[in-house]
Structure 1
Amino acid sequence: MAKLVLITGTSSGIGLSAAIECAAAGHKVVATMRDLARREALEQAAKARGVSVDIEQLDVTSSSAGDKIRELVLKYGPFFALVNNAGIAIGGPFEEQSEEDVRLQLETNVLGLMATTRAILPSMRSAGRGRILNVSSTSGRVAMPCLSIYAATKHAVEGFSEALRWEVEPFGIDVLVVAPGTFRTPIFFENMKRGAHVADEGPYGALIRRIEDLAIGGARRAPPPDEVGRTLARLVGAPSPPFRTIVGRDGFAMTTLRGVMPDRLFALGLRRALALSRVR
């Protein structure tokens, strides 16, 4: 049965793929993005697949984000599913990230997600059904260096989702977490952002270069985000979806190892992979 689905952050990457795959699955999709000037990629992808999506402007960090969600509910009717995908990662050691870098990630990945969720819940409760899918990351369970704030936001998404799950379940609303591993998305390339004060020749320079080499190299070898989009579309329509879904072999491997290995062994492997040694 076709569902009405609202998706955030659809100008590229996972959000774009989710919008196309949900539409291809027969759902009515309202795809939102902060900057409508970037809608062309989504429009071209929809045309290539022979599907249609409605595109709306939404900046989840805006103080009016909640009002915009309520406007969309009035315009389209009560949404069955909300896919909270909008997110940003700013790389670099914590010490070299500015206050603005920190706040932007928190406001987008956590507070923005909460604002859209809070605004849509009343209509879902009234309808007696609904499904909120929060896009997390492997970083929601395994925190890597030079992504400390991003990892903190995704840990927050995981904790928020788990608690909210129990609050809204009596009203017929499901809360799900989807945790992708590494996929070839713009976040690793043209959308990659560095902290304001990151210095290649600073005290963290060697670590930064190593992390960036690993991240970009891994992203080049990674598959496109279509698997994540298909997973989100499947979960929208699934009769009894699991609370947490990991997508990607590397994400599953890292999360599993972190859960079963003693910290000393896991840390030893990470130090070797990153060629870390203590500064004396």
Structure 2
Amino acid sequence: MGHLVLVTGSSSGIGLATAVACAAAGHRVIATMRRPEKAGALLAAAGARGVTLEIEQLDVAAASAPDRVREILEKHGPAYALVNNAGIAVGGAFEEQADGDVRAQFETNVFGLMAVTRAVLPAMRGAGRGRIVNVSSISGLVGLPGVSAYAATKHAVEGFSEALRWEVAPFGVHVCLVEPGTFKTEIFYENQRRGAHVSLDGPYGAMTRAIEQIVLKDAAKAPPPAPVAAAILRLIDDASPPFRTLVGRDARALVALRRVIPDRLFATGIRRLVSVPRSR
């Protein structure tokens, strides 16, 4: 019998692929999602692999999230691994995002992740073992235009994870980061969101159109998120997992470029890519 693995944001994309991959590997999986009525794709994917998993409702951004996590674990048992995958992204220049757009991203991507993590830690610490896998993004390493608030949330996840790593290590709990590049997920399609005040005719219109064209073009040819799920599964199973795992050719290339070329040259490339005008 494998470990008990709790995955957030499992109705689509990386969460769905991770839940199914973990179940197929013999783990007991609790697949959580904000709206369980959207579990059809997950159940179909699990059925195709001949595996079963438990589905539970969980909105990580809700004030009741910690209590809900404890209810779930009282029902199914203590979790060995937590995969913090739930997240949202709101596109558009920062100036054109309402306070609600920015706060929603932080409530889900940062504060929700923290709340769920805090709820599972006592049992992991008591057991003297555990695995927390936080799904970050290439945006947590390189800030790009059009996703400034989202990038801020992922940078926060990176810093939180690095500090938490040292706090819980003495108790046998490993904290790991997964940093995917572009994969075919609902965040680019059904779940795509624009800032409340984004205007294609406004001051950022040319940049917004250029970025959306690039993003949709890349998403159309992007692979499914199976490699990300496989990386997460390895982190759960590995006796001594690495702290950071970049997944995707584009992610590795972008991070390598950012590290080795001067900022002036990198900035020139970004300007050309999205037609960002120089400030006057």
Which TM-score bucket, shorter chain as reference?
Answer: over 0.9
User: What CA distance in whole angstroms lies between the structure 2 residues aligned with 1:71 and 1:193?
Assistant: 31
* Per-residue Cα deviation, 1:182-211 (whole angstroms, up to 9, x for no partner): 001110111100000000100000000000
Number of the residue aligned with 1:43: 43
* Aligned residue-pair number: 280
Number of the residue aligned with 1:241: 241
User: What CA distance in whole angstroms lies between the structure 2 residues aligned with 1:256 and 1:80?
Assistant: 33
Alignment of 1:193-212 (within 5 A): 193-212=193-212
User: What CA distance in whole angstroms lies between the structure 2 residues aligned with 1:46 and 1:208?
Assistant: 37
- Aligned partner of 1:16: which letter? L
User: What CA distance in whole angstroms lies between the structure 2 residues aligned with 1:31 and 1:46?
Assistant: 11
User: What CA distance in whole angstroms lies between the structure 2 residues aligned with 1:231 and 1:253?
Assistant: 18
User: What CA distance in whole angstroms lies between the structure 1 residues aligned with 2:178 and 2:256?
Assistant: 15
- Aligned partner of 1:201: which letter? D
> Aligned to 1:191, what secondary structure does the other structure show?
coil
Number of the residue aligned with 2:131: 131
> Aligned to 1:203, what secondary structure does the other structure show?
coil
- Aligned partner of 2:262: which letter? P
> Aligned to 1:184, what secondary structure does the other structure show?
coil
Alignment of 1:114-129 (within 5 A): 114-129=114-129
How many Å apart are 1:279 and its aligned residue?
5.6
RMSD (Å), alpha carbons: 0.9
User: What CA distance in whole angstroms lies between the structure 2 residues aligned with 1:110 and 1:35?
Assistant: 20
- Matched-pair contact (CA < 8 Å) for 2:140–2:154: yes
User: What CA distance in whole angstroms lies between the structure 2 residues aligned with 1:279 and 1:102?
Assistant: 24
> Aligned to 1:10, what secondary structure does the other structure show?
coil
* Per-residue Cα deviation, 1:197-245 (whole angstroms, up to 9, x for no partner): 0001000000000000000000101101111111111211111110000
Number of the residue aligned with 2:107: 107
Q: Which runs of 5+ in 2 are unaligned?
A: none
Number of the residue aligned with 2:31: 31
Number of the residue aligned with 2:11: 11
User: What CA distance in whole angstroms lies between the structure 2 residues aligned with 1:73 and 1:188?
Assistant: 32
> Aligned to 2:198, what secondary structure does the other structure show?
coil
User: What CA distance in whole angstroms lies between the structure 2 residues aligned with 1:192 and 1:165?
Assistant: 32
- Matched-pair contact (CA < 8 Å) for 2:206–2:275: no
Q: Which runs of 5+ in 1 are unaligned?
A: none
In the alignment, is residue 220 of structure 1 matched against residue 217 of structure 2? no
- Matched-pair contact (CA < 8 Å) for 2:2–2:26: yes
Number of the residue aligned with 2:143: 143
User: What CA distance in whole angstroms lies between the structure 1 residues aligned with 2:83 and 2:275?
Assistant: 38
User: What CA distance in whole angstroms lies between the structure 2 residues aligned with 1:279 and 1:64?
Assistant: 45
- Aligned partner of 2:151: which letter? A
User: What CA distance in whole angstroms lies between the structure 1 residues aligned with 2:266 and 2:279?
Assistant: 20
User: What CA distance in whole angstroms lies between the structure 1 residues aligned with 2:279 and 2:5?
Assistant: 51
Alignment of 1:40-119 (within 5 A): 40-119=40-119
User: What CA distance in whole angstroms lies between the structure 2 residues aligned with 1:144 and 1:213?
Assistant: 15
- Aligned partner of 2:46: which letter? A
Indicate the percent of aligned positions where both proteins have the same amino acid.
62
- What is the TM-score of this pair, normalised by structure 1? 0.98
> Aligned to 1:142, what secondary structure does the other structure show?
coil
Runs (4+) of structure 1 moved beyond 6 Å? none
